[in-house]
Structure 1
Amino acid sequence: MRISVICVGRVKEQYLRDAIAEYSKRLGRYCKLDIIEVADEKTPEHASEGVERQIRAKEGGRIAKHIRPDAYVIALAIDGTMLSSEGLAAHINQLGLHGESHIQLIIGGSIGLDDAILRRADYRLSFSKMTFPHQLMRVILLEQLYRAYKINAGEPYHK
């Protein structure tokens, strides 16, 4: 299985980069992982909804260039479906059983994802009703993907 994580912005903090590198290395046993970063837009403080919509559209255009037509696209969205770790593992397993060989997971920028990207997604996944920094979300997502593969392999880790 090929997993691509498409995300807005660069991770600046070394401790987060280290965690991303560690989970990327661990995932290498189970899948081919690509992390694709697209440039983020500066969001002015107290930006109007119109300005935020324009920013999401610009970032969305950059994301769209990397979405493969043959990929199963999962957008991380606060209004998406919440799954347990076992539920995510089962979802990934089912995708593989149904012939999906490429999953693309999309993490938006600090103000979320463009509506066009959300419409293109085959599935919307929510990790919580809480808001997380998008750089930290990358670490959380990779950890949960690693956990899902361990669960599906029947290996200890998920407790």
Structure 2
Amino acid sequence: MKIVFMGTPEFAIPSLQKLLSSSHKIEAVVSAPDKERGRGRQITSTPVKQFALENGIKVFTPLDLKNPDFINEMKKIAPDLFVVVAFRILPKELYQLPKFGSINLHGSLLPKYRGAAPIQWAIINGEKETGVTTFFLEEKVDTGNIILQKKIPINDDDDFGSLHDKMM
């Protein structure tokens, strides 16, 4: 299967690693553009972009996901599937492009904690468990058909960092 992977932070790398070790072909990676980071304001690539380049994978970093040139590049690849982990909201013309659609990994047990900061909200609300959900993308955010979920217990001493690491 021809896959285009979309992600930005460290959280997305284990999913990309798993796909690379599978029989599927990662045709390209899409990540956020390089930007200034840190006190020195040095231009830095995202963790996903760095990982992709280290593994010889073609990388796209579009400013605008609706840009016709970017959409045409994705059409040329003719992917079977987009796999999205910790990335931006995709426009309809993009997520409908692959033969088998687009799937996303979200850091909560959907439908709970749709949208941003699901790990933080689970902790703030005193949840005893959370998890990750893989689902098909559709027009509304985090509402597509669920493919699978994995539950993860939240311990009393968990904070954002420890829970984030459990989810990876």
TM interval, shorter chain, is: 0.3 to 0.5
TM-score normalised by structure 2 residue count = 0.33
Greater C-alpha radius of gyration: 2
More strand as a share of residues: 2
The higher-RCO structure (CA 8 Å, 6+ apart) is 1
More helix as a share of residues: 1
